[in-house]
Amino acid sequence: MTAAKIPAELKRQVNAAVAQYPAEHKRSAALPLLHLWQEHFGFITDEGMKWIAEKLELQPINILELVTFYPMLRQKGAGKTHIRVCRTLSCAMAGGYRLMENLCEIAGIVREHDGIHNPVLVSPDGNISIEFVECLASCGTAPVCMVNDDLHENVDPNFTADLLRPQPSTLTFQPPSPHPLERRLVFKNIGRKDWTIDIDCYLRDGGYKQLKKAVTMSRVDILNEVKASALRGRGGAGFPTGVKWSFIKTDEKKPVYLICNADESEPGTFKDRYIIHQDPHQLLEGILISCYALSAHTAYIYIRGEFPEGAKILERAIEEARENNFLGENILGSKFDVEVYIHRGAGAYICGEETGLIESLEGKRAYPRIKPPYFPAVLGLYMCPTIVNNVETLCHVKHIIAMGGAEYSKLGRPGNTGTRIVCVSGDVVRPGYFEIEVGKVTMGQLIYEMAGGMKFGRQLRAVIPGGSSARVLRVDERFKIKEKQPAGSTIEREISIDEIPMDFDSLAACGSMAGSGGVIVLDDSRDMVWALNNINEFYAHESCGQCTPCREGALWMKKITDRMLLGGGVMQDPATLKTVADNIAGRTICAFGEACAWPTQSFVEKFPEDFAARATKSAPPPLPPEYTPEELITEEKIPIVPLAHNPGWEKAGASGVV
């Protein structure tokens, strides 16, 4: 592809994309340019890689590294209609695999391989291509798939033909009236009949009033309000936002960056999507207030690649806000300049981890950084102080300014203040999102009252309370939580799963976490080995592969549960699973290590009966490869005496090793 063949419009878009980043950090434009190229030419050719490398003064390997890291980027053409079917737990429970099979049948695609390499399958006529993707952040309306750029929810696997006909995207919403147990701040406008996403509607509703108020306040005052609110991050870790912000020195000489983490990809979580789609200006207002408070003149919204519509909505919102001088130069006459840019990811869960996100935003593989020394607040984006906050967190900032930090902190419970959006998916009658005062609703209320309870004839078996990485809770477990008494003393109380208050500290006390607020409910029809295998596949696929325990361990755990499901489970498998997970958790660069180990640790520990039932074969003799996994699956009985083998490696003097 010579430069001559590149249309002027594409060139213009390329130059505009490059201009979003500091001139000395052109590399950041690598992903945007790859997106543009793929949108125009259908896939990334060798010439494309070279052209982009040259444009950004990089080496071709730098681009090849990206193209093979981010699953949305293709080196081969897709069909005219490209379908991405969600493979992850909530969708799988709702028939995602069946959806895939039916689609393949209609399209005439033989699905012999849906592994990590080249997952895009194209129909013989070239019209349709299909791939499995991981959680599309719409688990409440599972199963879902994307047809080209449009999301389709609540797809009936038996009526797949409908999908292939041109039709508008159907973003389904819950009824506008919130459940009585809800307390809506951030989701106030979500699903409202009279609500539109343009700035006029937002302004009519009192929009940008808080920004106007904020720019009259001093930065320290805003920070103090946020501190007083005791707001904890809604992205997963629950870190106090005010404390995080105070890591930025007031007299900082380097540029400060704010990054809005809109990578929402923790399975079971689907809240940021709705904020972006339904109330983009609320997010923007939150970002602008935060930028002002942090003296950050540049903010990036890192939005996951699977939200193309969301990215467009945000672009539009930014333009509208600029027209109203809410962003740009000297906003609202405050002498404060600020720019907000959209940066699209390309299908990698690890870009949600803040330092992985930063690397990705710098145009590299999303390899999380070691901390120390690379704490974002010190050495973040472009080695400058950087604050990364979740979409929902930044929306709360607006409400904190509106209410005042002290008032806000009265919502919820001490140390667990405010409201938060809880997303319920899986085996409940009415899955969906619910904004609750933190800790003011129990798990039982959430499942049985708000989400409509279990399906007919089914009983609760397990709950994953904070996104798929949270430790699973078993229905008959008893939990000990400490509770502060009005008198000031604390008492320990034993509670059932139904009684767990939905807040950070209580869920942590129950051995799990509130995480990203994604509650996945499993009923008594579920095989826990199957469920864990689905989760394991997610983590094996999403590990960035940088550090040894996670890279090797995540894939190993997935291979074990795969084999167990196929009938090749041996008696040592549950123990192996557990120790492999133990060897990952706490020993990796980023918290993905825990994220992938906790499910295995907790499922194996809490559902021993399911695992034992699938681990019945006698352990094969040591020293593989006497038995291939395929043989383990097909052989009825495994003799425990070693077969004759050719241990070539023993002769190498490494006997006794593996």
Partner 1 sequence: MGVGVMAEKPQLINVQIDGVWHQFPRGTRVIEACAKVGAYVPRYCYHPKLSSPGNCRMCLIEMGLPRMGPDRKFELGADGKPVVNWMPRPQICCAQDVAEGMGVRTSSPLVEECRRGVMEFLLINHPLDCPICDQAGECRLQEFSVEYGRADSRFLENKVKKPKRVRLGSRVTLDDERCILCSRCIRFCQEIAKDDVLGFTERGGHTTLTAHPDKPLENNYSLNTVDICPVGALTSSDFRFEMRVWFLKETKSICTSCATGCNTIIGSREDVVYRQTPRENVAVNSAWMCDYGRLNFEYLTSPERLLEPEVFSVEKLQPADWKTVISHTALQLQHFSGWDIAIVASGRMTNEELWLTTRLAQYLNVSLIDIVPRKGEGDDILLSQDRNPNTNGAKLILGLQSKPGANLETIASGVAEGRIKSLVVLGEDPTKFGIPIEQLKRLPSFVVINILRSSCTAYATAVLPAATYAEKRGSMINGRGRLQRLNCAVRPPGQARQDWEILRDLLQELTGHNGLGSVEDVFRQMAESIPQFAGLSLSRIGDLGVKVMVMPEDSTTPVPPGEPVDEEIIELPPLHARK
Ligand X SMILES: Cc1cc2nc3c(=O)[nH]c(=O)nc-3n(C[C@H](O)[C@H](O)[C@H](O)COP(=O)(O)O)c2cc1C
Secondary structure of 347-370 in HEC code, one letter for each residue:
CCHHHHCHHHHHHHHCCCCCCCCC
Among 96, 178, 233, 347, the residue binding ligand X under the rule CB under 6 A is 233
- State in angstroms the smallest separation of the CB of 446 from ligand X: 21
Among 71, 236, 418, 517, the residue binding ligand X under the rule CB under 6 A is 236
Please give the sequence-ordered ranges of beta strands (E in DSSP) within 465-533, or none if there are none. 473-474, 479-484, 490-495, 518-523
Among 62, 295, 389, 543, the residue binding ligand X under the rule CB under 6 A is 389
Whether the CB-CB separation of 452 and 175 falls below 8 Å is answered with: no
Among 6, 89, 436, 509, the residue binding ligand FES under the rule CB under 6 A is 89
DSSP 386-418: EEEEEHHHHHHHHHHHHH-HHHHHTSEETTEES
- State in angstroms the smallest separation of the CB of 541 from partner 1: 6
Site mask for partner 1 (CB under 8 A), range 550-589, x = bound: -xxxxxx--xx--x------x-x---x-----xx--xxxx
Q: β-pairing, 432-437 with 473-474?
A: unpaired
State the sign of the Cα–Cα–Cα–Cα dihedral 546, 552, 554, 555: positive
Select from ligand X, ligand FES, partner 1, none the partner in contact with residue 445, using the beta carbon and a kind-dependent cut-off of 5 to 8 Å. none
Select from ligand SF4, ligand FES, partner 1, none the partner in contact with residue 135, using the beta carbon and a kind-dependent cut-off of 5 to 8 Å. ligand FES
Q: How many CB atoms lie within 10 A of CB 490?
A: 11
- Which tokens sit at 215? 């720019």
- Which tokens sit at 608? 């021993």
Select from partner 1, ligand SF4, ligand FES, none the partner in contact with residue 572, using the beta carbon and a kind-dependent cut-off of 5 to 8 Å. partner 1
* Alpha carbon distances (Å) from 523 to 116, 426, 464, 474: 30, 8, 12, 10
Select from partner 1, ligand FES, ligand X, none the partner in contact with residue 88, using the beta carbon and a kind-dependent cut-off of 5 to 8 Å. ligand FES
Q: Is 91 in the site for ligand FES (CB under 6 A)?
A: yes
* Alpha carbon distances (Å) from 609 to 458, 465, 604: 19, 22, 9
- Which tokens sit at 219? 């930065």
Q: H-type helices in 78-190, by residue range?
A: 89-93, 96-107
- Measured from the CB atom, is 141 or 546 closer to ligand SF4? 546
Q: Is 51 in the site for partner 1 (CB under 8 A)?
A: no
**Pick from 286, 285, 315, 291: nearest CA to 303:** 315
Q: Is 28 in the site for partner 1 (CB under 8 A)?
A: no
DSSP H or E stretch at residue 542 = helix 528-542
Q: Is 632 in the site for ligand FES (CB under 6 A)?
A: no
**Pick from 548, 557, 651, 569: nearest CA to 612:** 569
Q: What is the C-alpha to C-alpha distance for residues 472 and 608, in angstroms, rounded to an integer?
A: 13
Q: Which of residues 334-363 bind ligand X (CB under 6 A)?
A: 350, 352-354
Report residue 83: phi and psi, to 5°. Answer: -110, 130
DSSP H or E stretch at residue 258 = strand 256-262
Select from ligand SF4, ligand X, partner 1, none the partner in contact with residue 656, using the beta carbon and a kind-dependent cut-off of 5 to 8 Å. partner 1
With tokens 């950050």, the residue in question is: 296
Q: Is 142 in the site for ligand FES (CB under 6 A)?
A: yes
Q: Which of residues 98-127 bind partner 1 (CB under 8 A)?
A: 116-117
Q: How many helices (H) and strands (E) does the chain have?
A: 26, 18
Q: Is 237 in the site for ligand X (CB under 6 A)?
A: yes
Site mask for ligand X (CB under 6 A), range 585-624, x = bound: -----xxx--x-----------------------------
Site mask for ligand FES (CB under 6 A), range 159-178, x = bound: --------------------
DSSP H or E stretch at residue 132 = strand 128-133
Select from ligand SF4, ligand FES, partner 1, none the partner in contact with residue 651, using the beta carbon and a kind-dependent cut-off of 5 to 8 Å. partner 1
Q: What is the C-alpha to C-alpha distance for residues 242 and 160, in angstroms, rounded to an integer?
A: 48
Q: Is 239 in the site for ligand X (CB under 6 A)?
A: yes
Select from ligand X, ligand FES, ligand SF4, none the partner in contact with residue 98, using the beta carbon and a kind-dependent cut-off of 5 to 8 Å. none
- Measured from the CB atom, is 258 or 535 closer to ligand SF4? 535
- Which tokens sit at 59? 């080496």
- Measured from the CB atom, is 273 or 606 closer to ligand FES? 273
- State in angstroms the smallest separation of the CB of 6 from ligand X: 34
Greatest CA separation for the chain: 83
Binding site for ligand SF4 (CB under 6 A): 350, 368, 543-547, 550-551, 588-590, 592-593
- Measured from the CB atom, is 180 or 656 closer to partner 1? 656
DSSP H or E stretch at residue 378 = helix 376-379
- State in angstroms the smallest separation of the CB of 73 from partner 1: 12
Among 344, 541, 578, 606, the residue binding partner 1 under the rule CB under 8 A is 541
**Pick from 536, 534, 554, 535: nearest CA to 544:** 554
Q: Which of residues 331-350 bind partner 1 (CB under 8 A)?
A: 348
Q: Is 388 in the site for ligand X (CB under 6 A)?
A: yes
Q: How many CB atoms lie within 10 A of CB 118?
A: 12
- Measured from the CB atom, is 288 or 472 closer to ligand FES? 472
Please return the burial class of 8, using the count of CB atoms within 10 Å of its CB with bins 0-12, 13-18 and 19+.
Answer: exposed
CA atoms within a 13 Å half-sphere pointing along the CA-CB vector of 644: 0
Whether the CB-CB separation of 495 and 476 falls below 8 Å is answered with: no
Residue length, the chain?
658
Select from ligand X, ligand FES, partner 1, none the partner in contact with residue 641, using the beta carbon and a kind-dependent cut-off of 5 to 8 Å. none
- State in angstroms the smallest separation of the CB of 560 from ligand SF4: 18
- Measured from the CB atom, is 129 or 229 closer to ligand X? 229
- State in angstroms the smallest separation of the CB of 609 from partner 1: 22
- Which tokens sit at 282? 């609320």
Which residues of the shown chain bind ligand X in the complex (CB under 6 A)?
A: 233-237, 239, 241, 261, 263-266, 350, 352-354, 388-390, 393, 590-592, 595
Which residues of the shown chain bind partner 1 in the complex (CB under 8 A)?
A: 46, 49-50, 58-62, 64-65, 68-69, 116-117, 348, 365, 367, 370, 372-373, 540-549, 551-556, 559-560, 563, 570, 572, 576, 582-583, 586-589, 620, 622-624, 627-629, 632, 648-649, 651-654, 656-658
Which residues of the shown chain bind ligand FES in the complex (CB under 6 A)?
A: 86, 88-91, 135-139, 142, 144, 267
